[in-house]
Amino acid sequence: MQQPVVLIGEWLVTPAVNQISRQGRQLTLEPRLIDLLVYFAHHPDEVLSRDELIDHVWTRNVVTNHVVTQSISELRKSLKDGDESSPEYIVTVPKRGYKLAATVIWCTEEGEELAPVPPAIPSTTAKSSPSAVAAPLVSAAGALPAPLKADKRRSITTWWVWGLFLLALFSCVALVAMSTIHSHPPVTKTRLLLNPRDIDIRLADGNSCNNAASQRTYAVGLGSLITMSLNTFSTYMVHDKTNYNVNEPSSSGKTLTIEFVNQRHYRAQQCFMSVQLVDNADGSVMLDKRYFVTSDNPLSIQNDLMSSLSEALTQPWPERMQAMLRMYQPSQSKSLTQFYQAHQLLMKGDIDSLSKASAILDDVISDSPGFTYALAEKAIVDVLRHSQQPMNETQLAELNAEITRVSTIPEIKNTAAFYQIKTIDMLGQGKVDDAFAAINSGIDLEMSWMNYVLLGKVYEMKGENRLAADAYITAFNLRPGENTLYWIENSVFQTSVTRVVPYLDNFLAAE
């Protein structure tokens, strides 16, 4: 017998091909999300805790509660399928877990229904009494005797029950047949199943430009902002591959490519920045913008690009995201370009890069004192510098004063950057429980690779290397590349990738 399929609410779930479908619409989900949905279907109306889901869905794999929360979120987004007004299929039961709140009908791909079978036909094997045998089959008036009337009623009832059973059976067969017809689209030779809610951000080398270094830094900064924003505030999962040079096939349904193109008819061979968003399912171009970057317009380009992405993805930015974007609004475009230069140095993570980043951010804060996010970024840079190269008493006093000053700014206290600073500072003081509370608050506010690297460091300090490995893999998945690997190995304190997260070590060795 083939693997059963199940009707959950309006969705027909076909585990064999990792697909859900309704009304001619098919979605391909990650196998783990299908396993999670099927497990819920086996326990309808039951409250399932995170630990139970980990034990039965992620058996023997390295996971944390954050992975369960993220998977539930992705599953909810897929079941809503872009319709925010649709009912919740999986509801949260505070302090207990999650519950499937939709009807469930099981059947197999052959059409065999796995619901309870209809009542059996009443037994007729009991001995008949002599009087019953002697009873006339037809009365004088020509009517059936009472026992035969009862048998006839039972027979009619039984036929009705079997009729309803067969109707349900045929309905199940029809649903499976429709799913079979529509659920096997042509696949590429690599047999990758695209996830339409995933986006890769890539930076193409393109032709050389006069100011290639600063242009590239600006593009990397934009990629980082887009990744963090969409992962935190939208229904999309974005992978920032601007630092990832491996050009392997991807399962992401969409690709955002940033490229600087040198057009010789421009004066001084200056470049324009080309931004394209392509739907990999059919090759259609969802967004195609070209910007001629000057020293005065990086801020307006950033605003226009974010607005254009909102339209292309039909994803309105929520108020929290708009408030966050306003924090990336320095008074001068030059300050934004310098900020992204410092941010790229921060992502490299080594002591020389951090020292350069700190100096650049001093200039940014001086030129744009109202640029609050630059203040938070400088505090992050400086606490990381102290973790790699301990400061003297004077420098340490200045650092403590800087942290205190940043902590008093209301806008910063509501950002993940504030909790990143606290996490690094608490780890440096050996206050592991405080660091754990801080980084979890940061993750609630922002889904970023940096948060998950710091979560891994906290788990290591707690002696929970299995959970640390899961956090590091999540960080690398959000932003693969040598920068993230350097952070895992060297940020805050040194980590042995071979010992703590051998999967990542083997993955990189296989490239």
- Higher pLDDT among residues 188 and 308, named by residue: 308
In this structure, are residues 193 and 251 in contact, taking their beta carbons and an 8 Å threshold?
Answer: yes
CATH code where residue 250 lies: 3.40.50.11830
Q: Where are the alpha helices (DSSP H) in 135-258?
A: 146-182, 212-233
pLDDT tens string 74-103: 888 888 877 777 788 898 888 788 999 888
Q: Is 40 exposed, middle or buried (0-12, 13-18, 19+ CB in 10 A)?
A: buried
Please, what is the Cα angle at 510 between 505 and 511, to 5 degrees? Answer: 105
**222 and 177 within one domain:** no
Query: The domain spanning residue 12 has which CATH number?
Result: 1.10.10.10
Residues 204, 69: one domain? no
Same domain, 263 and 248: yes
Closest CA to 437 of 230, 68, 425, 69: 425
Instruction: Give 275-333 pLDDT, tens digit per residue.
Output: 999 999 999 999 999 998 888 899 999 999 999 999 999 989 999 899 888 888 898 88
Which segment of 240-249, 282-291, 301-310, 495-504 scores lowest on mean pLDDT?
A: 240-249
Give the contacts of 241 (CB within 8 A, at least 6 positions apart).
Answer: 200, 201, 202, 203, 479, 480, 481
135-152: pLDDT as tens digits:
343 343 344 445 444 555
Quote the CA–CA distance of 80 and 69 in Å, as a whole number: 17
Task: For residue 199, give the DSSP letter.
Answer: E
In DSSP terms, 289 is beta-bridged to 275
pLDDT of residue 434: 95
Q: Which DSSP state fits 92?
A: E
At residue 491, φ and ψ (nearest 5 deg) are -70, 135
Could you give the number of structural domains in the chain? 3
Same domain, 488 and 364: yes
Give the pLDDT mean for 489-511. 87
Question: What 3-state class would DSSP assign to 257?
Answer: strand
Whether the CB-CB separation of 324 and 315 falls below 8 Å is answered with no
Q: Answer whether residue 248 is part of any domain.
A: yes
Give the tens place of pLDDT for each residue, 21-75. 888 788 888 888 888 899 999 988 889 988 888 888 877 555 667 778 888 888 8
- Per-residue pLDDT at 327: 85
- Cα–Cα dist 458/1, whole Å: 47
Of 326, 353, 387, the domain-final residue: 326
User: Alpha-carbon distance 262 to 292, whole Å?
Assistant: 11
Residue 6: pLDDT band (50, 70, 90) is confident
Q: Which residues pair with 93 in a beta bridge?
A: 97
Whether 375 and 495 map to the same domain: the answer is yes
How many helices (H) and strands (E) are present in the chain, helices listed first?
A: 20, 12
* Same-domain status, 384 and 248: no
d(CA 450, CA 453): 5
Q: Which of 122-126, 199-203, 442-446 has the lowest mean pLDDT?
A: 122-126
Cβ distance 107 to 6 under 8 Å? yes
| 223 vs 246: CA distance, rounded Å | 17
163 and 208, same domain (yes or no): no
This prediction has a pTM of 0.64
Residues 434-456: what's their mean pLDDT?
A: 94
**243 vs 511, residue with greater confidence:** 243
Whether residue 495 is predicted with pLDDT greater than 90 in this model: the reply is: yes
- The position carrying tokens 């940061």 is 442
Range of the domain at 397: 333-509
Torsion 175-180-185-187 (CA) sign: positive
Tokens, residue 511: 């490239």
> Which of 291, 326, 361 represents a domain boundary (last residue)?
326
Position 486 scores a pLDDT of 94
pLDDT for res 377? 93
Per the prediction, the chain carries an average pLDDT of 81
Task: Report the alpha-carbon distance of residue 193 to residue 33 in Å, rounded.
Answer: 14
Specify whether 232 is located in the same domain as 375: no
The closest of 510, 443, 507, 433 to 471, measured between CA atoms, is: 443
- How far apart are alpha carbons 380 and 203 in whole angstroms? 26
296 shares its domain with 346: no
DSSP assignment, residue 287? Answer: E
Asked if 252 and 347 sit in the same domain, the reply is no
User: How large is the average pLDDT for residues 11-15?
Assistant: 87
pLDDT over 80 (residue 171): no
Do residues 239 and 260 share a domain?
yes
Would you place residue 467 in the very low, low, confident or very high pLDDT band (cuts 50, 70, 90)? very high
Q: Are strands 237-240 and 195-204 parallel, antiparallel or unpaired?
A: parallel
CATH number, domain containing residue 366: 1.25.40.10
Please tell me the least confidently modeled range out of 2-6, 90-94, 340-344: 2-6
pLDDT value for 168: 67
> What pLDDT does 437 receive?
95
- pLDDT per position as a tens digit, 384-439: 998 888 888 888 899 899 889 888 888 888 889 999 999 999 998 899 999 999 99
- Same domain as 202, residue 79: no
**Is the predicted pLDDT of residue 459 greater than 90, yes or no?**
yes
